[in-house]
Structure 1
């Protein structure tokens, strides 16, 4: 008997095992991929048609804050359900094994490009949100796969999980199937689903006010000094900076993904004296996760977020960038006492970080901001000064 015909549950009683046939890394799938496998069911009695349910489900779970509420509660929402038709012939092609009968139920699911139309329940005048809200959310949070904990992605709040799983339920026909709600046997295996960049609508991800997220384009920051000199630093990108991460960096032999962010440094000098010296840039990647335990049907663009929405911020510190070599002798006089310098700031992300892509849905959203803190020194001063610049980012996943 070949590898696909093996008996994984011989010697057990009334057990279910789910077996995947694909060679996907850690069972990670993207839209359009097929999830192929078998459900091995070993029973001490015969199974009859109609008592086996095989489905692919997407489920979100939001737990309450244990500090504010002593009893740990949660809200769960099923946003995706795809049923597998179980052929009647599968109930007659059993195999007699020790202490029972072994059944083999094949299943095939194709990861959809979008959620069903009823997954977004906004009012008719808000149809512009549907294209964004019907995109599949990525697997997030810590989910359970049998006895092992599987952390699918990083920078996710501890009280949130978005999980996909193939589930097998055996329902008791004697209890009035299909009206019996509780299965008398159940098994599930987690999978990871990662939406691709061409499916995510990037035009609304960082437009800000829908969930009252931080403004992606902050006003220019000016640093005033005692001599009335001014230093102004700005980015030269009009749109959010896109960073593309591969779905399988190990297979593609990719180490770090680097994106260059151009900066313009403007210095207006009112009195004679040396110009400021740029030292370094500290870089922080900020992940903004908006989550809700209730789906709102009347969200309107530009309104404050509802009370049941919560914004969580996670910070990832990146290595600092030394600017002394790059900025030396680059300040050029453009007119009178106005000086400018162009800087190229690299931002490198390791694929091992496993960042979720930017997305937005009815219940959840994820956006990113790159926080640049520019340090510099003034002539005759011992202290180091700094100014803060925030750059909106979009994380996208490609094949």
Structure 2
């Protein structure tokens, strides 16, 4: 009996060796999203590289449900199968060295999110060899987190407000296959130097005999567009208004060598945010609008001087992208680009509207109505009914006009919500320009303008928020894993997310000499990531930490 058992064991072992040495063609992996976050049947597969006609979009607390199907053409031995939902940001900055005439590129990658789907080990074949032609199916469910852990941003920042901004999930950025408004593909005005991507990834791994390391033998990913819910923040304080002009004053001449007619001032406060609707709720979403208010004041140089006739008001919106190959420790400004080879700025300006304001009437006020002069940086204070006088005002009568300016986002572009991450930032500037005519400018229309900060916020999905509340009450907790780092905390079966950020510097010949050089520097400090409990069967990432030191 013992001999029979030994013979049987040898037979099984021999059979396994034969299977292990069989030709191992690459397995076909298909990632399907069974339902989108509004319950519509929309099976998507990652087995084809062709772009999809509809841009699926997910927001905070949305559930992404589907399955991974694996079919091997030949017997394939494996050690593990993993399904993850990952978020990564990438940047590069190029500078030309005047000394060597070489283009220097610095690049950074930040893996800021990694959620892992628990897979029941009993669903794996035993022994762990995929049978030829058989399809193995593994369901998954991911919940998009609202924000990241406080320890996700480990580098120093100028203040707590910037650190908090770095903990917010960034939107999908710079991918032409996914950029859009939730119903169609549109340019999101992001430069090729920036990319924020989310993807569901399936990997098959096996132990390499030569060094006993776990290596990926087959993998597939399915890209997903994420536009997280973003709340409107308070108006910018004065320290962050260096690139804006909330008030301007200019002298109006009577004519050449004829003296001054008076001083014209324009001022405005930061308007309320442009609030994007929940993505994908309707194909014909309402226009995204807000209202700005500008105040004009004319201080005449003489009692008989009349205010200029207002002509047109032109509004423009500039989308600004700041990017860096090192951690942004300060709020991005144009001054922050000086003497820094690791920073870059890209912007696009879109015309919004041009309105005739010739019918706007000036209102005359007397000296008793004049408010005291105040600082030109209005920042968080609201516009007074009567603007502050100019420095040239010496008393007497003056004139005031008020113009309400509706701001509507055009539907020809995709607009990302305002965000500030560790290496990428996107924010917006509103330019309001008023043209006018006076007795000295009959044949021209000079302008005076203000440049205002304006936020773009984004709505979440109320249905997803309700579903999350219900799931949370049933103990569907967070799960995040780091298979790559292999960091396992023994207490309570805790696992940790990765910290694989790096910076690479390449020197590329641009002088035609054909010489080139390249080097890598891993100068970002690595820190032990925070730990998460493993509970339930839903891969939910309430927060995720990948430090950039």
The 5 Å alignment of 1:323-338 reads 323-325=357-359, 327=360, 330-335=361-366, 336-338=396-398
- Can you list the C-alpha shifts for 1:302-358, whole angstroms capped at 9, x where unaligned? 996372222322211222122123x1xx21111153111111111111355321111
The correspondence of residues 1-399 of structure 1 with structure 2, limited to 5 A, is 14-24=27-37, 26-46=55-75, 50-65=79-94, 74-92=107-125, 100-123=133-156, 127-142=160-175, 154-175=188-209, 179-181=213-215, 183-198=216-231, 202-203=233-234, 206-207=236-237, 214-216=242-244, 218-225=246-253, 226-235=259-268, 237=269, 239-248=270-279, 251=282, 253-271=284-302, 272-295=304-327, 305=336, 307=340, 308-325=342-359, 327=360, 330-335=361-366, 336-351=396-411, 353-380=413-440, 381-399=442-460
The change in CA–CA distance for 1:392 and 1:223 in structure 2 (over 3 A counts) is: farther
Residue pair 2:69, 2:137 contacting (<8 A) in 1 also: yes
Q: CA deviation at 1:223?
A: 3.5
Which residue of the partner structure matches residue 526 of structure 2?
Answer: none
User: Deviation at 1:207?
Assistant: 4.7
The answer (yes or no) to whether the contact 2:261–2:305 under 8 Å persists in 1 is no
Root-mean-square deviation (CA, aligned residues, Å) is 3.5
Q: In the aligned structure 2, how far is the partner of 1:64 from the partner of 1:175?
A: 40
Q: Secondary structure in 2 aligned to 1:53?
A: strand
Looking at structure 1, the residues matched to 176 and 210 of structure 2 have their Cα atoms a distance apart, in angstroms, of 32
Checking the alignment, whether the CA contact within 8 Å between 2:71 and 2:135 is kept in structure 1 is yes
- Superposed CA offset, 1:28-87 (max 9, x none): 111111111111111134566742121111111113439886697743221111122222
Select the structure of larger CA radius of gyration. Answer: 2
Q: Distance in 2 between matches of 1:64 and 1:185?
A: 32
Write the distance in 1 (CA, Å) between the matches of 2:193 and 2:313. Answer: 33
Aligned residue for 2:35, secondary structure, equals coil
Contact in 1 for aligned 2:57/2:280 (Cα 8 Å): no
Higher strand proportion (structure 1 or 2): 1
Supply the distance in 1 between the matched residues of 2:56 and 2:246 (Cα, whole angstroms).
Answer: 40
Report how far residue 126 of structure 1 moved. 5.2
Instruction: Give the secondary-structure state (helix, strand or coil) at the position aligned to 1:184.
Output: strand
Gaps of 5+ in 2: 1-24, 38-53, 179-183, 254-258, 367-395, 461-549
CA distance in 1, matches of 2:145, 2:289: 31
Distance apart, 1:140 and its partner CA: 0.7
Cα distance, 1:295 vs structure 2: 2.3
**1:8 alignment partner in structure 2:** none
In structure 2, do the counterparts of structure 1 residues 230 and 300 end up closer, same or farther at CA, with 3 Å as the change threshold? closer
TM-score w.r.t. the length of structure 2 is: 0.60
Structure 1 unaligned spans of 5+:
1-11
* 3-state SS in 2 of match to 1:136: coil
